[in-house]
Amino acid sequence: MCGIVGYVGDKDSATVLVDGLRKLEYRGYDSSGVAIFEGTDIKVVKAKGRLDDLEEKMEKEYRPKGTCGIGHTRWATHGEPSDVNSHPHGNKNVSIVHNGIIENYLELKAKLIRKGYEFESETDTEIIAKMIDYYYKGNPFEAIKKVITVLKGSYALGIIFHDYPNQIYAVRKDSPLIIGIGENENYIASDIPAILKYTKNYYLIEENEIATITRENVSIVNLDQEPVSKDIFTADWDIESAEKGGYPHFMLKEIFEQPEALRKTVSPRIKNGLPDLGVETLTDSFLKSVQKIHIVACGTAMHAGLIGKNVIEKLCRVQTDCVIASEFRYSNPIINQNDLVIIISQSGETADTLAALRLAKQAGVHTLAIVNVVGSSIAREADSVIYTWAGPEIAVASTKAYTVQMSIMYLFAFKLALVKETVLKESIAEYCKMLQMIPEKVNEILEHSEKCKYYASRFQNANDLFFLGRGIDYALSQEGSLKLKEISYIHSEAYAAGELKHGTISLITDNVPVIAIATQAHLFEKTISNIKEVTTRGAKVLLIVNESFSVNEEVARYLLRLPSVDEIFMPLLGVIPLQLFAYFTAVLRGCDVDKPRNLAKSVTVE
C-alpha cells in the first residue's frame, strides 16, 4: 500500500504533507515525495527511503514554499525503489500521486511512445501522468475523464495542474481516497489518520467521481459533470484506532483485507485467461527444464509452501520438497543443476530463509523468491522474484500474506503445468477463472464471521487442542495450529489423521478439543472414519467441511460448511475460519492479538 496526502489552505504545505504522510507510515513504503505550488510553478522533491530522507533532502537542497500541494509514500510495485520511481510523477504542466495498480500500463505506454513521449521511470503511475498531459486541452475535468475511461486496474489519484494553482483534483476506483474538510483549508488522503490532526470531518468519494478541492470549497461531480451531494462523516476514534481502519486489531483488519489482497495479486497475473507471472527470467524453456523443486521457508510461509507442493505435484508431476529454512541450510541438501529453489518470505529479510537462498545460489541453481517487501534482501539476491502485492502486514500473526503466497503458488503451478503440458490448456484456463472467483468466496465466509466467534467461545478455555486432516487438509491444519498457538497461547498440534492410531489417539479423552478439516472428496470417507475414532473417545470436534459433502450430525459436535469450489482451491477458503477462530479465541482469552509475546514480525536473527 501507499499513502496519499494533499493540502490546500494557509499553512506551510510541505509541513502538513510530511506530517500527514508520517501518520500513514504503518501502511509501508520505500520512498516519498511532494509536489507543491510556488506561485503557478509546480516544485517537486522526492527521495528513496524514509520520510526522514525526504526531509533531509528538502533541508539540504530545496524546500518548496507554498500552501497547496500533494504528497506520497510509495510502496513499489512497478520499478525498484528509487528517487526516479518515487511519486509525484508528471512534468511542468501536471503532477500526480497514485495508489493502486494499472494493469494495462504497458499498452498505454506503447501508445504514448508512438505519440513521441519519453519515460524516465519504470512505474505505471508515470503513464497516468503522461496520459493526462496528452489529453489536457485546458480543461482538467475533460482530461481526467478521458484518462480514467482507458485505465484498467485500481487507482486513487491526486492531481495538480500548472494552469490551476492552489487547486487539487481527485478521483478513485478500487482504492480508498477521502476529502478532509477544514476551516479555510481542505485535504485529500488515502486514510483518515493523515488528517486527524487537522480535522475529523470528511467526504467519501465514490468510484469515478471527480473532486475539485480549493481552500474555500470542495466540488464533486460525476462523469456527466453533474454535482454530487455528499454527507459529511465525522471520525470519532483516536489516531491509533483509525490506523486500524476501525477494526479493533490489525489482525482482524488484515483478515478482512484478504479478498482485495488476493485480487491485487492474482488479477494482473492472468492475461487472456492464462497465467502470466510477468517474470522475464522464468522462460518457458527454463521451466520445461526443471526436474525438481525445493520450496524453502519458515513458519506460515512454509505452510504456504506445503500447499504449493501439493498443487505442483498434482498438476505438474514434478517432485517437490518443502523444507523449513533452518533445516535446509544445515542439512547439506542435495541440489542439482536442473532444480529450482523457491524461497518464500513475507518480509524478505528472514534470516534463515535468506541464508538458504544464498546456499542455493552457491550451488549454482536458479532461485525464485516470493516476497511481499519490494527491495528486501531476498528480493534483491534471488535470480527471479514474484511480489505478492499484499500491502503491509502489521499484525505479527500472518494472515493475508499466507493467502497471497498460496495464490502465487497456484499461479506458478498453473504456468508450470501449461509449459510441461501435463494439463490441457483449456483446463488451465478454467483453473485461472476459478482462482479469480476465490475473493468472492472468501467474502462469503467473512460475512458470517460471527459463527467462528461462537465456536471460539466453545473452545476458549482449552489447554490443548488438536488439528486433523489428510493430504492438502493436513497442510492447512498445520497453519491453523500455528495461528492458534501464536496468539492465544493454547498448546495445539496438527496431525495427519491417518497417524491417529500410531500414538496420538492415546491423548484423546473426554472433551479434548479437536478441529478436523475434510474438503477433499477422495479422502473424505477416510477422514470421517478418523473423526469417528476421536468422537467415540469423547473428543469435542469442530468439523470444517465442503458444503457439498453430506455429513451425519453425529460425526461432530460442531459443523462449519465452506462454500463449494473445486477442491484444489479449498485451502484458500479453509484457512479463513481457522484465522478467525484463532483471532476470536485470543480476544476472548484477553491476549494481545497484534503483538503476541516473544514474537517479532520479521525474524532477522537465526
**Measured distance CA(370)–CA(307) in Å, rounded:** 14
The dihedrals phi and psi of 549, each to the nearest 5 degrees, come to -85, 140
Q: Are 202 and 171 within 8 A, CB to CB?
A: no
Single out the residue of 167, 153, 125 nearest to residue 33, CA to CA.
125
Task: State CA 168 to chain mean position distance.
Answer: 29
Query: 541: part of which helix (H) or strand (E)?
Result: strand 540-546
Q: Are 42 and 167 within 8 A, CB to CB?
A: no
Cα distances (angstroms) measured from residue 334 to each of 313, 321, 328, 365, 408: 19, 11, 10, 11, 25
Single out the residue of 207, 192, 221, 82 nearest to residue 157, CA to CA.
207
The identity of residue 317, as a single letter, is R
Q: What is the 3-state secondary structure (H, E, C) of 102-166?
A: ECCHHHHHHHHHHCCCCCCCCCCHHHHHHHHHHHCCCCHHHHHHHHHHHCCECEEEEEEECCCCC
Pairing of strands 274-275, 270-271: antiparallel
The question of whether 2 is a catalytic residue gets the answer yes
Integer-rounded Cα Rg, in Å, for the chain is: 26
The identity of residue 119, as a single letter, is F
Query: 495: part of which helix (H) or strand (E)?
Result: strand 491-496
The question of whether 601 is a catalytic residue gets the answer yes
What is the CB neighbour count within 10 angstroms for residue 363? Answer: 15
Cα distances (angstroms) measured from residue 408 to each of 263, 270, 319, 405: 11, 11, 18, 5
Q: Are 171 and 147 within 8 A, CB to CB?
A: no
Q: Which of 152, 200, 230, 601 is catalytic?
A: 601
529-544: buried (b, 16+ CB within 10 Å) or exposed (e) per residue?
ebbebbbeeebbbbbb
Q: Which of 2, 68, 298, 316 is catalytic?
A: 2
Q: Residues with catalytic annotation?
A: 2, 601
